Structure 1
Amino acid sequence: MSIVAGLAAVSVLGAGGEAAADAQGPQPQDLSGLTLEQLADIQVTSVSRRPEQLSGAAASVYVITRDDIRRSGAASLPEVLRLAPNLQVQRVGSVDYAITARGFNSFETANKLLVLIDGRSIYTTLFSGVLWDAQGLVLEDIERIEVISGPGGALYGANAVNGVINITTRSARDTQGPAISAGVGTDDRTLSLRHGGALGEAGAWRLFLTGFDRSDTEMVGGGSGLDAAAGIRAGGRVDWSNGHGDWMLQGDVYDHESPGDVALRGGFALGRWGRQLGDYGRIDVQAYYDRADRVNGPVEEEVRTWDVSLQQAIDLGRHAIVWGGGHRWVENTLTSPPGAATLVPASRDITLGNLFVQDQISLRDDLVLTLGVKVEDSSFTGVEVLPNARLAWSLDNGSLLWGAVSRAARTASRIDRDLTLPGFLVGGSFQSEILTAYELGYRARPARNLNLSVSAFYHDYTDLRTVAPDPATILPLRFANGGEGHTSGIEAWGSYEVSPRWRLDLGVVTLDKEFRLKPGETDISSLASVGDDPSWQVLLNSRAQLTDRLELDVHLRAVDELAASGVDGYVEADLRLGWRFDNGVELALTGSNLINDTRLETGDPGRQRVLGRSAYLTLRAGF
């Protein structure tokens, strides 16, 4: 991400808060080649912070499995997330993306989606979004990705407003021996090396080294976007068990560079301990340290994060209770040259404490009421109370009908409160953006070879960000909470098993937006903070096993125009042909964006890049 471009764009148009980490331990599963019945029985942890079957989860949740990732042909995590029909993905540069659920998408306004990797929040205090260029995972080591659309504040805290992405990587026990993955293509070059081994009979370890090199994108009017990037990352993980519980340690370091004196360096270390306590359920404790140093010419940002959290899950008769809490400390410093947009003060220490409790009450064998609340206290923005109520009814035919009412908040980011441009913009007292969400969903398996999920939502927002002039002198401007409105839509997806060797996945999402200014408010940005979103999106994925060794995957997507900017809608196709050999070696050729010569995915004039056709050849062994 260009810090200079981000600050300059946000100073006129907009971008926010804190988030809580998930201390739930990993739930290893073999998700390769599952039948539809097995897919419905996948255990997910994101909905209730404890393992439960996907078929009984009372939320709009979509799971991307390890086999889905392998067969996507994707070279990066954001491209993998295109598989989720309840996400809207916009590529805005070589390594920069805007990703959201249920609206508010653009590079500066995609700030209402919480993302966790093994319980570690990758939210940034700068603008409340995710800097996707820093998330260089080894894709083959991801166990599953759970994508929840809809608020999750009662469990995950502020900024889990429109959705939660929970990424779980594989246990070191499942990654033994040597492995290599190499890819070369018109846009991407990648290499991943991994080796794992046993630690006696109780544990296992793995080490990895991965790198990428990505080409420049092209500008709309021609010429290079000058945003090529290359990077390297190394790290490892250890898992072991003994009489005192289950332990996990992991960490990595990375170094990314782009032309024009742009660099990103950092790393993290995370530890987790969990233990069954007999009649007292299970307790999990997690702590991590994360650092990131980002340089863009004369602008530098340093972030240091310490986080510790605890949760206990206990069953008491008809009550399944999860409670816990945590504390986070963030040091954020941004320096920029005199006269440029900057943050005042340049450095801030932000602390965040939280407590939560959720009770799943079995009213009857087929009726479960879930009540939960999280209370967060931030030194930067104060106290937020985030309640949630869900009701799930299991019908006689095995289907599930559920409904939910939730409150969520996007708390102020440093840009919201501290961004200053002398004579033009001053810091203000920006308050939290508030959401009250109403959801209704249905999940079923109407036939042996068909899974189906349908959800409807109505989101009522208030105190949305605006850019307000001074009442007397117009300048300086300041961020205010002058917007309000609502969104509504339908999210539907299903899988149809045409035969044991051929499966079709279809997803359809609609979005209707109505926003306005509060009476008496003024916004010179014309409510730019609500983003630029398509009103519908359709995804169709075909997975065919042509022979025992030959796979054919086709990914089609149709996306409506971006109404705010007038960027045309598009229909695109990706195709992957893979060969799997007896010795565990796999060779695959992927063609992306095969229909159109060129297209755009974002309406941001400063970030529009032409995307065209590409090819990518990968070789994997040992994964």
Structure 2
Amino acid sequence: MLHTRNLLTTLFSCLFSQALYAENSASETDYFQDFPVVLSASRLSQPLSEAPNAMSVIDRKMITASGFRSIPDLFKLVPGMYVSYYKGGQAIVSYHGSSDQYARRMQVLIDGRSVYMAPASTVDWANLPITIDDIERIEVIRGPAAASHGANSTQGVISITTRDAGAIHGRQLSLTRGAKGINDVAARFGHHGEQLDYRMTVAYSADNGYDNLTAPPNSLTLAQATAGGLLNNSNDSNQARMLNYRADYHPNGIDRFDIQFGFNRDVQTAGWTDSFGNPNHDLISNSNYAQLGWIRALDNSDEFSARYYHMGQQQSELFTVLTPATNTTQTSRDEIELQHTVHLTESNRLVYGGAWRRDQVAGQGYSPALFFIYGASPTYSSSLSTNEYRLFAHDEWRINQQLLLNTGAMLERDGLGHENLSPRVAVNYHLTPQHTLRMGASVAYRTPALAELHYRQLNPGVLLVPSQTITSPGLVPEKVLSREIGYLGEFSALATSLDLRVFSDQLGQGVYVGATKFENGYTAAYQGIEATIKHSMGDNSDLTANFAHELAHSNAAALTIGPGLLSTTDVQATSTPRNSASLLYSRRFSHDVSFSTAYYYQDALQAYMRNTVDHQSMQRRTDIRLAKVFNQGNGVKGEVALVLQNVFDMKYSEYVANNVFNRRSYVTLTLNW
């Protein structure tokens, strides 16, 4: 009882000691030093308590403690995020519950480079030319952020920052072996110099995906499972070979050049054993990127930056539909962005800039079955391109010591000729230096993907080869209106921080698959609460807990999805988990031994894809990581780590019910010299 009274007293004192706030009015840095500094929300460097959006930060320490080897899995540590798998190598990462397999409403950046690609405007997570160990930190904006990052940011933004060019000085070799055919090898080397830092990673990653099902999942009968195609996943492996390079050249005290390039070759098995138009076969992807950035430091802590990048991807598949058939697509993106950060006054900062982007898509296909069955041409091809232009600005005005106003907007002209203005406004009020309230509202748009505009109905295989002509005329961008109230608190006496968010998002003009084409007319609403609690138990132990409670509904049940056919379910309501949570605990027992464990929970839901066939049961999963550092002498140091996933073997199904996640394990050996 005494402990409870002391706890309440501490909380009350922290929240309402305004006099103490005035007395300790030292510097801005002193006020917010306990909150992590973020950049992606407004494009300004801000303490988390002054950002205009709710955000989650996954740092290097959390990445290591999680034990994950797949980048998408990291987002299980973000409240409200949905992470699942369509195939072993095809991840689905979305916000506000399950989406279709392409998850087109989440912007993903790697060092500022947008990696969602045409024609589906989706992220190919298996084909990213980085490994999980190349990542230094991830900032996740929970909620629309089109005012800073444009189209495809209607659900949020994942901003991945890779490790600095000078982070590795020497050589590193990492080997991972485990169940499900897990076989990873990575070699790294780097150098830290007076004017030039660089690092390079060469890696190979492979696994066999999910086990072949021999019994019906989710308590279905054998007849139900067979009719739903749930015993057909005998083709689910993935192999990736990659190289990435990053250099930082700083010839003087004011200029810095960032040089990056990389390649990736991914071979993943695709298709299904019982599918006529999409049988088992290999999907081969080759991707590359090159990026050049320049930052010049100006007077008064102002800054000017310029960035250019190019990305390319070629994918091909060969399969049999009566006779041999093939699809090939080539996509590329070029973008130039300029940005200027300026201090207008001591209490006002402004960042503004503009960008140009060009996307190109070409596709070819050959399938004689189209002629034999439908009388259609056995060959098809297309070549499309779009140009987009963006202007953006964000202003941070410190009205007084307690009140901060964030305002910003982005004006976009998309490849369809639409001009959209995405504004955002947020007010941050500091009750004390450690306790902040935030209220914000924003509008965001999503430009229809080329695959939606140029949809080809007869498209065997996996790859989407767009039609040369527009088959869904009249499509307009989706629109999202978002409102939120947030609270951030730092309870120093308890070594605990609390992040709360209450939100309401409305989607209008949503794009859906109609009777014969893609159409606007889908609407949805999402309301919920999210929480993150972080607790430090001294220098050697940390605890992070996340929770989300969300309600969703839509007009899906009233939409026409076929000639004279109405949908009968509210797919958004059934595909959004009511509750989800994660817990990550890490402890270093000594200088040599560390331990971490994580627990993940998700309510049962109905996956977006195939109605009742792909029911996802409740997820309750526990992971463990145990690691020991050793020193071999002669400058050789290393670590051996054991990871056990789903320790208690509480099996659950993924996005497609064929994919059942059971207990698995792997061991990683890392050497540094």
What TM-score bracket applies, with the shorter chain setting the length? 0.7 to 0.9
> Against the structure 1 CA distance between its residues 567 and 206, is the aligned structure 2 distance closer, same or farther, given a 3 Å change threshold?
closer
TM-score (ref. length: structure 1) = 0.87
1:532 corresponds to: 575
Alignment pair present for 1:306 and 2:334: yes
1:81 corresponds to: 75
Alignment pair present for 1:293 and 2:331: no
Q: 2:304 aligns with which of 280, 283, 307?
A: 283
Give 1:279 shift.
Answer: 4.3
Give the AA of the match of 1:306: D
**SS of structure 1 residue aligned to 2:166:** helix
Q: 1:324 aligns with which of 342, 350, 353?
A: 353
- C-alpha distance in 1, partners of 2:328/2:523? 34
Give 1:597 shift.
Answer: 5.2
Q: Mean alpha-carbon deviation: is it higher for 333-342 or for 38-47?
A: 333-342
**CA deviation vs aligned residue, 1:316-372 (integer Å, no higher than 9, x gap):** 112210101100111111222353899997211111110001111111121111111
> Against the structure 1 CA distance between its residues 344 and 431, is the aligned structure 2 distance closer, same or farther, given a 3 Å change threshold?
farther
Contact 1:381/1:411 (CA < 8 Å) preserved in 2? no
1:568 corresponds to: 617
**CA deviation vs aligned residue, 1:501-528 (integer Å, no higher than 9, x gap):** 3222111011111111698x63447365
Q: Mean alpha-carbon deviation: is it higher for 549-558 or for 591-600?
A: 591-600
1:31 corresponds to: none
| Structure 2 counterparts to residues 446-465 of structure 1, below 5 A | 446-448=491-493, 449-465=495-511
Contact 2:366/2:380 (CA < 8 Å) preserved in 1? no
Alignment pair present for 1:577 and 2:630: no
1:195 corresponds to: 189
1:32 corresponds to: none
- C-alpha distance in 1, partners of 2:110/2:425? 26
**CA deviation vs aligned residue, 1:34-63 (integer Å, no higher than 9, x gap):** xxx999443211111122222432321111
2:479 corresponds to: 434
**CA deviation vs aligned residue, 1:137-181 (integer Å, no higher than 9, x gap):** 232231100111101100100110111000001221222111111
| Structure 2 counterparts to residues 398-413 of structure 1, below 5 A | 398-413=434-449
Give 1:103 shift.
Answer: 3.1
Give the AA of the match of 2:630: F
- C-alpha distance in 1, partners of 2:447/2:288? 26
- C-alpha distance in 1, partners of 2:64/2:514? 48
> Against the structure 1 CA distance between its residues 330 and 64, is the aligned structure 2 distance closer, same or farther, given a 3 Å change threshold?
same
- C-alpha distance in 1, partners of 2:163/2:248? 10
2:60 corresponds to: 66
2:172 corresponds to: 179
Q: 1:154 aligns with which of 147, 150, 174?
A: 147
Alignment pair present for 1:613 and 2:663: yes
Q: CA RMSD in A?
A: 2.6
Give 1:599 shift.
Answer: 1.8
Contact 1:217/1:610 (CA < 8 Å) preserved in 2? yes
| Structure 2 counterparts to residues 458-497 of structure 1, below 5 A | 458-469=504-515, 477-497=516-536
> Against the structure 1 CA distance between its residues 373 and 216, is the aligned structure 2 distance closer, same or farther, given a 3 Å change threshold?
closer
Contact 1:334/1:342 (CA < 8 Å) preserved in 2? no
Contact 1:357/1:374 (CA < 8 Å) preserved in 2? yes
Contact 1:381/1:431 (CA < 8 Å) preserved in 2? no
| Structure 2 counterparts to residues 260-409 of structure 1, below 5 A | 260-279=281-300, 281-297=302-318, 298-317=326-345, 318-338=347-367, 339=370, 346-380=382-416, 382-409=418-445
TM-score (ref. length: structure 2) = 0.81
Q: Mean alpha-carbon deviation: is it higher for 508-517 or for 425-434?
A: 425-434
- C-alpha distance in 2, partners of 1:186/1:134? 22
- C-alpha distance in 2, partners of 1:170/1:479? 41
| Structure 2 counterparts to residues 583-622 of structure 1, below 5 A | 584-596=637-649, 598-602=651-655, 604=656, 608-622=658-672
Contact 1:456/1:490 (CA < 8 Å) preserved in 2? yes
Alignment pair present for 1:112 and 2:151: no
> Against the structure 1 CA distance between its residues 530 and 513, is the aligned structure 2 distance closer, same or farther, given a 3 Å change threshold?
closer
- C-alpha distance in 1, partners of 2:311/2:234? 30
| Structure 2 counterparts to residues 92-171 of structure 1, below 5 A | 92-108=86-102, 110-171=103-164
**CA deviation vs aligned residue, 1:402-452 (integer Å, no higher than 9, x gap):** 011100111100121101226999433221111000011000112431011
- C-alpha distance in 2, partners of 1:257/1:344? 24
- C-alpha distance in 2, partners of 1:228/1:337? 25
Structure 1 or 2, whichever has the larger Rg, is: 2
> Against the structure 1 CA distance between its residues 153 and 343, is the aligned structure 2 distance closer, same or farther, given a 3 Å change threshold?
farther
Matched residue count: 574
- C-alpha distance in 2, partners of 1:534/1:445? 29
Give the AA of the match of 2:261: G
**SS of structure 2 residue aligned to 1:58:** coil
1:30 corresponds to: none
Give 1:300 shift.
Answer: 1.3
- C-alpha distance in 1, partners of 2:83/2:146? 22
Give 5+ residue unaligned stretches, structure 2. Answer: 1-30, 217-230, 270-280, 319-325, 371-375, 461-466
> Against the structure 1 CA distance between its residues 49 and 286, is the aligned structure 2 distance closer, same or farther, given a 3 Å change threshold?
same
- C-alpha distance in 1, partners of 2:163/2:388? 29
Contact 2:554/2:571 (CA < 8 Å) preserved in 1? no
> Against the structure 1 CA distance between its residues 350 and 531, is the aligned structure 2 distance closer, same or farther, given a 3 Å change threshold?
farther
- C-alpha distance in 2, partners of 1:452/1:512? 22
Contact 1:342/1:420 (CA < 8 Å) preserved in 2? no
Give the AA of the match of 2:588: Q
**SS of structure 2 residue aligned to 1:98:** strand
> Against the structure 1 CA distance between its residues 219 and 535, is the aligned structure 2 distance closer, same or farther, given a 3 Å change threshold?
farther
Give 1:93 shift.
Answer: 1.6
**SS of structure 2 residue aligned to 1:256:** strand
Give the AA of the match of 2:528: G
Q: Mean alpha-carbon deviation: is it higher for 323-332 or for 509-518?
A: 509-518
Contact 1:342/1:419 (CA < 8 Å) preserved in 2? no
Give 5+ residue unaligned stretches, structure 1. Answer: 1-36, 470-476
Contact 2:310/2:332 (CA < 8 Å) preserved in 1? yes
> Against the structure 1 CA distance between its residues 223 and 184, is the aligned structure 2 distance closer, same or farther, given a 3 Å change threshold?
farther
Alignment pair present for 1:252 and 2:262: yes
Contact 1:255/1:266 (CA < 8 Å) preserved in 2? yes
2:6 corresponds to: none
Contact 2:557/2:571 (CA < 8 Å) preserved in 1? no
- C-alpha distance in 2, partners of 1:59/1:92? 30
> Against the structure 1 CA distance between its residues 249 and 166, is the aligned structure 2 distance closer, same or farther, given a 3 Å change threshold?
same
